Amino acid sequence: MDEKGEKMTNVLVINSSVRSDDSISRALTTLLADRIAADVHEITHRDLTGDIHLISAQSLSAVAKSPEQRSSEERALASLADTFIEELEWADYLIIGSPMYNFGPAASLKAWADLVARSKRTFTYTDAGPVGLLKIKKAFVVAVTGGTAVDSNIDFMTPWLKHFLTFIGISNIETITADGIYGKHGEENIRCAKEKIAGLSI
C-alpha cells in the first residue's frame, strides 16, 4: 500500500539473453518497461545470466522442508528459489525477455522455471488437476528469434513458456514477437515489435 492506502502496482522484468548491450530482447523489455512505467509504482529487474543453479536432489530436498527445518546448507540451496518465488508473489505484472536458442528457451530461463515451480506456493494439485496459485494480472512475453518463426512447428520456446506460465496461475499472456531478426525482414520485424510496444499499456 502507498501512503494513501492504495494498492501499489508492481512489475517484474526478467531477462535471459546471454548478450548484453547488443541484445534485442533486452532492448525490447527495457522499452516495454519504460512504456508502462507511468502506470506502475515499482519495477524490479531480474537478470538470469548471473548466479543461478540447476535443480538437484539436494535442492529439491531443501525446498520441500519448511524454512525452520532446513540446515544452514539447505537454506543456502533454497535461498535463490525462495527469492525468485517471492518476486513473483510480489509482482502484479510480469515481463519476460525470451530469446530463442536452438529452438528453445535460454537454459537460464528453464532453470528459473524449475526453481519457481513449487507445490503449494506457485501451484497445487487438486482432484481436477493442477491449479496455479500466482495472482499476476498479466504477463508480457518478448520472444526474439534469429531465424525460427514464432508459433511455427519448430518453435519449442513460446508454447512451453505460455504453458508454464498458465500452470503457475498466469493465464493472461501477451506475446510481443521479433522473430527472424537475422533474416531478410529482421529489421522490419524489430520495428513492428517496437510499434506494438508503443501502443501497449497495462
> Can you read off the three cell numbers belonging to residue 176?
510481443
C-alpha cell at 65: 522442508
Per DSSP, 100 falls in state: -
Domain membership of residue 41 (yes or no) is yes
Average pLDDT over residues 137-149: 97
Average pLDDT for 105-113: 98
Give the Cα separation of 38 and 153 in Å (integer): 38
* pLDDT of 49 strictly over 60: yes
Q: Is residue 48 part of a domain?
A: yes
Asked if residue 163 is part of any domain, the answer here is yes
Average pLDDT of the segment spanning 88-110: 97
Instruction: Give the three-class secondary structure for 197.
Output: helix
Q: What is the band of 37 on the pLDDT scale with cuts at 50, 70, 90?
A: confident
Q: Is residue 130 part of a domain?
A: yes
Does residue 22 belong to any structural domain of this protein? yes
**Residue 2 within a domain:** no
* pLDDT confidence of residue 1: 47
Q: What is the pTM of this model?
A: 0.93
What domain range is 174 assigned to? 10-198
Domain membership of residue 87 (yes or no) is yes
Of 105, 93, 95, nearest in space to 46 by CA? 95
Looking at the structure of the chain, the number of domains it has is 1
Is the pLDDT score of 161 beyond 70? yes
CATH number for the domain including 93? 3.40.50.360
Give CA angle at 56 (55, 58), nearest 5°.
125
Q: Is residue 3 part of a domain?
A: no
State the DSSP string of 64-82. Answer: TS-GGG--HHHHHHHHHHH
Output the average pLDDT for the chain: 93
